[in-house]
Amino acid sequence: MLSDTAHYFRNAAKVMGIGQRVQRVLERPQRSIKVEITVELDNGDLGTYTGYRVQHNRARGPGKGGLRYHPTMDEDHAVALAGLMTWKTAIVDIPYGGAKGGIDCDPRSLSSREVERITRKFVGEIHEVIGPTVDIPAPDVNTNAQIMAWIMNEYSRFHGFSPAVVTGKPVDLHGSPGREEATGLGVTYCIEELLSRQKTSVAEKTFAVQGFGNVGSWLAHHLHKRGGKVVAVSDIGGALYRKDGIPIDKLRDYFAKHRKLEGFPEAESIPRDDVLFVECDVLIPAALGGVLKENNAKDVKAKIVVEAANAPVTPGADEIFHQNGVMVVPDVLANAGGVIVSYFEWVQNIQQFRWELEEIRSKLQRYMRNAFTTVWDLAQRKNISLRTAAYVVAIGRVGKATVLSGL
């Protein structure tokens, strides 16, 4: 996953014929900081953790990217993921650079109060290098709206009332309506754009969705709402299949009650990983990275793969899909809905004015449509894959901002 971004970036840079030095300028992070976080744990022990924040590129605007709480978090992860954010924000043309960070703690083994203390201590260490015009964190793996609320509160103690320092806040504390469904809805808009270019629509197609978390469940909901047949879905415990389409609204109610897909009466149960290989038009991996690899890519029957998760298709599998005529919509484009609505949240915070859900949805659609159109047209014109085209757009926008700003 870490090297994938670098691989695709270099691929695009090669296609564009960019020199080594400029490549290096674009690839290297501008700022990386590491802080020690020491807190008292509930049992009186001393907990020591390391926090990271990397600002990869701020040529187009303040850094933007998630905070991840995970034992494996380190500087290399932060640098790679911050780079991905630089390209993603450029592709959808929101005025941000890329950033990422996190703490090497395991929230599952910590109490809520411990997580709060760790978070506040972390903000105390990094508040001078983040801010509404500098670097704006957001939720990521194992972080949520509550943690964002603590960050906003702690940052505001140093700098005064500053809701725009962080996005993904609770709707009741300066958060934005529509933030929760944003990624799934963005993927749906992306699919609509693609299908409209093939003179067809969601209502005429069948879909398989791997993963039923925040992204997968909202995505299935919006596809279903548009008349699309979601024939297969999966979660960590298993998969469901129904040839004429699963009733997604009933499934979402069932899932909300039971916290699992297993046992849903109106679809047949199939082995979990079969969700990737069922007969369908569009396959949407919306869970983990690296699920479609060299050894299973040829078994995919769908003609379109949409990367709702980050890096679900490995570079090896990407090559096989290319040879087999399977179109891949890359993650940097497909799943950018989340960061777009994060941007809307930031804008609302700065304006101190709340938008209606409908306004947010229509603006999200406009941003996804513009991004898709730019990438699609470039891919057609230059006869390159959507992924390469997306990275070319990213390099183009970041590059122009860099040369126009001057050294």
Partner 1 sequence: MTAPRKEVRKTERFHQIPIFSNLAGKEVGEILRMTRETKYKPGDTIFSPNDPCDGFYIILDGRVDIRLTNDNGETQTTIATLSHRSVFGEMSFLGKRPRSAWAVAVEDTRLNRVDGEAFQASLDRGDVSAYKVIHNFAILIAGRLRRVEDELLDVLQTVGPEKRKEKLAELQEFRHTLYRDWSF
Among 1, 2, 6, 18, binds partner 1 (CB under 8 A): 18
Note whether 349 and 172 are within 8 A (CB): no
User: Which residues lie closer than 8 Å to 334 by C-beta, 6 or more apart?
Assistant: 186, 187, 190, 306, 307, 308
Residue closer to partner 1, measured from CB, 288 or 378: 378
Could you tell me which stretch among 36-44, 131-139, 149-157, 396-404 binds partner 1 (CB under 8 A)?
396-404
Number of H helices, E strands in the chain: 13, 12
Contacts of 125 (CB under 8 A, 6+ apart): 35, 36, 37, 51
The strand order across the sheet containing 327-329 reads 268-270, 238-241, 229-235, 206-210, 282-285, 304-306, 327-329
Question: Which residue in the set 76, 249, 377, 380 belongs to the binding site for partner 1 (CB under 8 A)?
Answer: 377
> Of 88, 100, 121, 169, which residue is the catalytic one?
100
Pick from 176, 374, 385, 388 the residue near partner 1 by CB under 8 A: 374
Size of the site for partner 1 (CB under 8 A): 16
Applying CB under 8 A, the span of 63-71, 216-224, 346-354, 371-379 interacting with partner 1 comes to: 371-379
Please tell me whether residue 393 binds partner 1 under the rule CB under 8 A.
yes
Residue 396 touches partner 1, criterion: CB under 8 A: yes
The DSSP symbol for 42 reads T
Of 141, 144, 134, 81, give the one whose Cα is nearest residue 112. 144
Determine the Cα–Cα distance for residues 107 and 71; give it in Å rounded to an integer. Answer: 9
Which residue lies nearer to partner 1 by CB, 6 or 18? Answer: 18
Check if the beta carbon of residue 138 is closer than 8 Å to that of residue 342: yes
The H or E element spanning position 110 is none
Amino acid at 295: N
Whole-number minimum distance, CB 235 to partner 1, in Å?
A: 39
- Nearest approach, Cβ of residue 15 and partner 1 (Å): 9
Q: How far apart are CA 11 and CA 80, in angstroms?
A: 16
| Alpha-carbon span 16 to 11, nearest angstrom | 9
**Closest distance to partner 1 from the beta carbon of 393 (Å):** 6
- 378 forms part of the interface with partner 1 (CB under 8 A): yes
Backbone φ/ψ region at 48: left (φ over 0), alpha (ψ -120 to 50), beta: beta
80 versus 393: smaller Cβ distance to partner 1:
393
Measured CA to CA in angstroms, residue 57 lies from 95, 127, 131, 316, 391 at distances of 12, 19, 15, 28, 15
Q: Which is nearer to partner 1, 60 or 127 (CB)?
A: 60
Nearer to partner 1, 196 or 373 (CB): 373
Stretch that binds partner 1, among 34-42, 78-86, 217-225, 398-406 (CB under 8 A): 398-406
Q: Output phi, psi for 150, to 5 deg.
A: -65, -40
Distance, in Å, from the CA atom of 241 to the CA atom of 308, rounded to the nearest integer, reads: 20
Under rule CB under 8 A, residue 384 binds partner 1: no
Q: Based on CB atoms, which residue is closest to partner 1, 17 or 44?
A: 17
Position 44 contacts partner 1 (CB under 8 A) = no
- Residue 392 sits in the site that holds partner 1 (CB under 8 A): yes
Minimum distance between the CB of residue 90 and partner 1, rounded to whole angstroms? 12
Residue 22 binds to partner 1 (criterion: CB under 8 A): yes
Tokens representing residue 401 in the block: 């901002």
Verify binding: residue 21, partner 1, rule CB under 8 A. Answer: yes
Q: Is 301 a catalytic residue?
A: no
Query: CB of 397: closest distance to partner 1 in angstroms?
Result: 9
CB of 407 to partner 1, least distance (A): 7
Q: Judged by CB under 8 A, does residue 259 bind partner 1?
A: no
Selected from 109, 265, 405, 407, the binder of partner 1 by CB under 8 A is: 407
Q: Where on the chain is the footprint of partner 1 (CB under 8 A)?
A: 16-19, 21-22, 374, 377-378, 392-393, 396, 399-400, 403, 407
Point out the residues that are catalytic: 100
